[in-house]
Chain A
Amino acid sequence: MKKKYTQKGICISCLFVFLVLSSWEFFSRHGIISSFFFPSPCKILQTIYSFFMDGTLSIHLLATLQRLLFGFLIGCNVGFILGILMGYSSFFRNMIDPFIAAIHPIPKIALLPLIMAILGIGEASKIFSIALASFFPMVINTMSGVMQIPKDYYEIARSYGAGNYHIFLRVILPASMPSTLSGVRLALNMSLVNTIAIEIISAKNGLGTLIWFAWETLHLAELYATLVVISLLGSSFNFLMQRLYSILVPWREMNKSDN
């Protein structure tokens, strides 16, 4: 899903973004659009800067990142292990699939009250809920990745004397890697979505709280500033995932650069 950037394309994008931002700046400054609802880009940048200087940003960003990564790692690992098992053995698939089919359609945020009732309103319930959100894309993608491996590759590996260890390391793991990684990418996105949502609903810190606080005090510049930070966070996740893909799936990357 890597887009191809041409020099001309980049020029057009930059130019247009600049145009939009500068006219926003202009209109907002001259009161053509409301500077209350649409504070000028410079003002937003200023707000981000002051967030950064007074430490607000680092406190909330760290809080968000911490619970996001905890939940993501737990959900991802459990999802990965179950996904491999379910992809490989129809016994596990038949056993676990009904539960996944039943719980997966529920928006995970809807489960938060239940989870809070059971685990309390502390950090545990938040992390569990984020883990749950990243678990599903992970388990589903890993499973389908393993299920799609052509049977021939197992046969070939066995014919060269591969045992279970090598079958896993040399066939199952790499062959399902592209699908697994798109699971990781989705899981990361879901974690971000759910972390922010949870923080808006019930948290004492985090970027979501910042959003809610800005709304309650009607400091819309702060609201915009937080949104920019979240957007940057999401983009850097996507960037990281792309790097991870080219490191872990080099055989696909190389083909792509050819065409």
Chain B
Amino acid sequence: MCIDIFNNILAETKITNMLITCNKISKSYKAKDKELLCLQDISFQLQSQEFLSIVGPNGCGKTTILKIIDGILCPTSGEIMYNMPEKKTLTSMVFQNHGLFPWLTVLENVAFGLEMQGVNKKERSERAMSFLKQISLDSFARYFPDQLSLGMRQQVAILRALATDPYVLLMDEPFASVDAQIKRILQARLLYIWERYQKSVIYVTHDIEEAIFLSDKILVMSSRPGKILCEISIPLERPRQLSGEHLKTIAEIKFHIWKLIEKEVTRSCEI
């Protein structure tokens, strides 16, 4: 009896812990008077402070999911429920290929979200500056994005999203274009940010290993029309190492996921 009540409470807290619930989301694009089904019956939940990754082949609709969650696109059918206290910014997106505005300085880019929230110029510059200081990019504040290296641009793009203080960070292959060594460093920084600011993250990538290394949960998607093939929890404790026991488990999970999508990938290659 006592345990029952306890379980109930647990169940309830779990429910309120769900930040985002996607319920049977479908999306089709109109392309030359043809309806192209891009996402089909996508259902999943994002818990508070969870690191969720989405992996899938090119064109399966990963970016589309993020845009739907961010509210830039509307789903054709299905619904999303946001369970977060009202605030100016619920979700902020880090776009594929960083998406910084070339005509704004690094500082203005980071402050962009704040400007849209109506923060006055002095305060938003100060806040953006303090963000830049944390990753020692403050000396580049007056530079323009094109004068930065790709890795730096990605970090600035993440700061721009972070500066709006969202509950959920939506990240669309943020490190796809940086080399492997820098990627490691950026991943570590991202995990640090995620823990320090207690954000939830939805992280899109096509690198399975990266997804396993970073996430609590992985959604594996099929090629078009994008469906969720399976949802895999990663039980590894943090901080994760790329050595010893951890590396072995990561390799096992990777093999498991690869088996699941092998057919999909060959199918999408044949098309």
Contact = CB atoms under 8 A, between A and B. Distances in A.
B113 A160 contact: yes
B113 A254 contact: no
Contact of A158 (B72, B89, B95, B99): B72
Contact of B103 (A156, A161, A175, A258): A175
B112 A255 contact: no
B161 to A, nearest CB: 9
Contact of B95 (A156, A250, A258): A156
B93 A153 contact: no
A177 B164 CA distance: 28
A44 to B, nearest CB: 45
A155 B146 contact: no
A171 interface: yes
A29 interface: no
Interface in B49-100: 67, 70-72, 88-89, 92-93, 95, 99
Contact of B71 (A153, A159, A162, A170): A159
Interface string A219-247: 00000000000000000000000000000
Contacts of A160: 89, 92, 112-113, 116, 164
A161 B88 contact: yes
A155 B67 contact: yes
Interface in A139-180: 152-153, 155-162, 166, 170-171, 174-175, 177
A170 B104 contact: yes
Contact of B115 (A166, A171, A177, A258): A166
A99 interface: no
Contact of B144 (A153, A155, A158, A254): A254
| Secondary structure class of chain A's binding surface, majority of residues | helix
A174 B102 CA distance: 9
B101 interface: yes
Interface residues on A, range: 20 to 34
A252 to B, nearest CB: 9
B8 interface: no
Interface string B127-144: 000000000000000011
B117 to A, nearest CB: 7
Interface residues of B, number: 25
A251 interface: yes
Interface string B208-233: 00000000000000000000000000
Nearest to B89: A161
Nearest to A248: B103
B103 A251 contact: yes
Contacts of B72: 155, 158-159
Interface in B141-158: 143-147
Nearest to B66: A159
Contacts of A166: 115-116
B81 to A, nearest CB: 19
Interface in A94-133: none
Interface in B174-219: none
A160 to B, nearest CB: 5
B93 A159 contact: yes
A249 B104 CA distance: 10
A179 to B, nearest CB: 13
Contacts of A255: 144, 146-147
Nearest to A249: B103
Interface in A18-36: none
B112 A251 contact: no
Q: By CB atoms of chain B within 10 A, which of A159, A161, A175, A255 has the most? A: A159
Contacts of B113: 160-161
A259 B227 CA distance: 47
Contacts of B99: 152-153, 156
Q: By CB atoms of chain B within 10 A, which of A157, A162, A174, A251 has the most? A: A251
Contact of A170 (B70, B95, B112, B144): B112
A136 B139 CA distance: 43
Contacts of A174: 101, 103-104
A156 B164 CA distance: 14
B144 A251 contact: yes
Contacts of B164: 160
27 contacts: A152-B95, A153-B101, A155-B67, A155-B72, A156-B99, A157-B116, A159-B67, A159-B70, A159-B72, A159-B92, A159-B93, A160-B113, A160-B164, A161-B88, A161-B89, A170-B101, A170-B112, A170-B115, A171-B101, A174-B101, A174-B103, A251-B145, A251-B146, A254-B146, A255-B144, A255-B146, A258-B147
Interface of B: 67, 70-72, 88-89, 92-93, 95, 99, 101-104, 112-113, 115-117, 143-147, 164
